[in-house]
Structure 1
Amino acid sequence: MRGTFRHAADFVCSLLIFLTACIPDAPRDNPLDPASPYFRNSGVLTGKVLSFYEPFLGIPDAQVTVLPSGPSTLSQSNGSFSFSDIVPGDISLLISKAGYASDTVRTTIVLAQNTNVQAHLNALPFVSSCVIVTRKVDQWWPGPSYSAVISSVVGDPDGQGDIASVLCTVDTASFPMTFIPEPPHYQVTINASSLPTKNLEWLAGKSLAIVVQDKPKGTTNGKSFAVSRIIQQTVIPISPTALDTAVSRPEFQWARPNASFPYSYKLELNRQDQGVPTLIWTQDNVDPLLTSFQYPDSLPPALYFWTIAIVDEYGNLSRSKEASFIVTGEPAP
């Protein structure tokens, strides 16, 4: 009996081996099967490059690179981009474009799946223009004062409200600039007393620059600029001065300075009200060949002082001491 069972078992095993040999291999068309000819050890990466702030507009022509040395592409007009055949695993993307702060995005590629990412680029602030003028203001006391006034127009594609700070830098010093609304610009006055040598000549020959930073800490350095001239020559008022009594339409007279560069004059007239000066008249671009100029209107009785400045073609200025005078009686008709 045992022999009969043994022979039957051997027969069944042989039959199974025979039948198995006759069955064809299963098809290998599953792309997830490593043995399939359709298998790809990769995933798909898609995404968008968008603005930093809402409404999150697409940024075209941004360079998107798989790090460290993988494929690279440019974003489309709506900010979209895509990569195929990216090896699964953790990757980093570098997104960059001129005028924007670069950003790095990290993600994980999954086999045979689509991974989607978004990158938000901060538009960098920019410096449109910058101007520096020097000023020498002569005074009876405590003496001449020197300063430099720096003005700059800056902007940000994300809006003026995104600007966090504007600095004027020179050597190791930096000076915060203040926003002036009309017309919109930033300005700072650097007094000679705030410089390392307490002398405005310290700025001569040095490069200055405007540094703008926005709220996300994006920073732009503007082109360097320099002082063009510090005017030392001063115009001397001749008449009226020293509390002279003057007619209501005074003629201002002065001695020409010894200057070899192109310049014009600037006249200013102030009224003194209980020791507080009020600017009431200004005349710019007065011909440098003139040595006198008549006030065009009639002045009421009061205490006044006038000044005259020499101004070069760059806007640098040197102003005279105050020349005071008194108008008495009725204004001339």
Structure 2
Amino acid sequence: MARPPLHRLYLSLPHAVPLVTRLAICVVVAVGLAGCLGDAPHSNPLDPLSDAPVTAGEVSGRVTGIYPPFDGRGGVRVRVMPQGGGTERVTTTATDGTFTLDGIPGGRILVVAEADGLAEASVETDVVAGSTSEVLLQLNALPVVTAQTARTVHIERWFPDVPVFRLEVDADVTDPDRPSDVDAVALVVESLGFRAPLTEVGPGSYEAALDAAALPGGQVQSLLGQALRIEVTDVAGAVALGPPLALVRVIEQTPLTASPQGLVTLAANPPVLEWRPAALPFAFTYRADVFLIDGAGIPNLIQSADGLSPATTTLPLAAALAPGDYYWTIWVTDAAGNRSRSKEAGFRVP
């Protein structure tokens, strides 16, 4: 196709016209020509002079775990917050951990991922109009307390002739990321500013036995009415708390043995253990323990009977005992596991 002819406009000005005047005339002519030609098109949506300019972009990303194979975490709440002010946008990740939010104003944003049982994670990024910003958030699973108990112990003894009061705590814990992620377990009483570590005694099982001297105020009774919590820390430093524990009571009363006692030599073997009935204002059971004292003077538990009815005050031993020195004790235990023990009652088998 032949090109249209090119028309040129020539201005003939007398040489006598000053230079400034010449320039002014050229400007007037150029402006007039621009008005005749019309405005340049603004069809590009990224052009700020467009009739429908694009001022927003898209945020897309994935939420995963912190360990390989970095599986996606579904059902996680994702919040996108413009840092220069504006409306917060919220969505939830798909089962594979992915999410997308469009219509996000251009500029600096904060993306936050959160869900129950997971440590919150966040990342800042920039949104450019008409483009997609990609983000990755890795969420650490919080450790979990699966079982916990706390109970008080009261023991009377002959030597030294001072009572023993103790707090015993047990906890089973795990971490959804992997069991080895558990780094430390402790008992905390926030109201008293108290914290004590628990020792691992088996895979995922922890315990502590705290004498009264190690407790606030030097007594177990100071914990009554307080909220006891099991605190678990994982290797990433995330901390989780188990539900509050409450001590029911400290059993101040102790049961009393009746016979045999006083290092008496048995006339009948096997013996019948007998104790005085305990008058307690709560439900309880008895437990009887029999110990043989070896040549080094160390007691060894040889028989135990637990869960005995509160109406029971005697326990015939089923088998004859070998010659030696023995002692036995009687416990009372309430429904919460709190217990109190008598002094030792010694006897000898000839």
Residue in 2 aligned with 1:239?
259
Q: Counterpart amino acid of 1:87?
A: P
Q: Tell me the distance in 1 between the aligned counterparts of 2:210 and 2:314.
A: 33
Q: Counterpart amino acid of 2:310?
A: P
Residue in 2 aligned with 1:178?
199
Residue in 1 aligned with 2:119?
101
Residue in 1 aligned with 2:168?
149
Alpha-carbon deviation of 1:120? 0.7
Question: Deviations for 1:242-278, whole angstroms, at most 9, x for unmatched residues?
Answer: 2222244121111112323221110111111121121
Which among 43, 55, 65 is matched to residue 57 of structure 2? 43
Q: Tell me the distance in 2 between the aligned counterparts of 1:70 and 1:249.
A: 79
Residue in 1 aligned with 2:22?
none
Instruction: Tell whether 2:97 aligns with 1:79.
Output: yes
Secondary structure of the residue aligned to 2:44 is coil
Residue in 2 aligned with 1:10?
11
Secondary structure of the residue aligned to 1:122 is coil
Instruction: Tell whether 2:145 aligns with 1:127.
Output: yes
Which among 131, 140, 158 is matched to residue 140 of structure 1? 158
Judge which range, 121-130 or 286-295, deviates more.
121-130
Is the Cα–Cα contact under 8 Å of residues 138 and 145 in structure 1 kept in the other structure? yes
Q: Counterpart amino acid of 1:301?
A: P
Which among 270, 283, 286 is matched to residue 305 of structure 2? 283
Q: Counterpart amino acid of 1:46?
A: S
Instruction: Tell whether 2:219 aligns with 1:199.
Output: yes
Judge which range, 60-69 or 302-311, deviates more.
60-69
Q: Counterpart amino acid of 2:178?
A: G
Instruction: Tell whether 2:287 aligns with 1:266.
Output: yes
Judge which range, 19-28 or 166-175, deviates more.
19-28
Q: Tell me the distance in 1 between the aligned counterparts of 2:36 and 2:331.
A: 111
Is the Cα–Cα contact under 8 Å of residues 242 and 325 in structure 1 kept in the other structure? yes
Secondary structure of the residue aligned to 1:307 is strand
Secondary structure of the residue aligned to 2:140 is strand
Residue in 2 aligned with 1:4?
none
Is the Cα–Cα contact under 8 Å of residues 136 and 232 in structure 1 kept in the other structure? yes
Question: Deviations for 1:196-252, whole angstroms, at most 9, x for unmatched residues?
Answer: 432222222222222222222222233222211111222222222222222441211
How much is the aligned-residue C-alpha RMSD, in angstroms?
2.7
Alpha-carbon deviation of 1:160? 2.3
Q: Could you tell me the TM-score, scaled by structure 1's length? A: 0.86
Residue in 1 aligned with 2:5?
none
Q: What is the aligned-residue identity percentage? A: 32
Judge which range, 295-304 or 33-42, deviates more.
33-42
Q: Tell me the distance in 1 between the aligned counterparts of 2:33 and 2:213.
A: 104
Secondary structure of the residue aligned to 1:10 is coil
In structure 2, relative to structure 1, the CA distance for the partners of 1:301 and 1:8 (3 Å cut) is closer
Secondary structure of the residue aligned to 1:90 is strand
Q: Tell me the distance in 1 between the aligned counterparts of 2:173 and 2:222.
A: 26
| Gapped regions of structure 2 (runs ≥ 5) | 1-7, 13-25
Q: Tell me the distance in 2 between the aligned counterparts of 1:322 and 1:167.
A: 33
Residue in 1 aligned with 2:229?
209
Question: Deviations for 1:102-156, whole angstroms, at most 9, x for unmatched residues?
Answer: 1211112233222211001111223333222111111101221011112223332
Q: Counterpart amino acid of 1:165?
A: A
Secondary structure of the residue aligned to 2:218 is coil
Q: Could you tell me the TM-score, scaled by structure 2's length? A: 0.82
Question: Deviations for 1:171-215, whole angstroms, at most 9, x for unmatched residues?
Answer: 111111122317x43221221111243222222222222222222
Secondary structure of the residue aligned to 2:213 is helix
| Gapped regions of structure 1 (runs ≥ 5) | 1-6, 329-333
Residue in 2 aligned with 1:91?
109
Secondary structure of the residue aligned to 2:11 is helix
Is the Cα–Cα contact under 8 Å of residues 248 and 300 in structure 1 kept in the other structure? no
Q: Tell me the distance in 2 between the aligned counterparts of 1:176 and 1:19.
A: 87
Q: Tell me the distance in 1 between the aligned counterparts of 2:9 and 2:208.
A: 107
Residue in 2 aligned with 1:320?
342
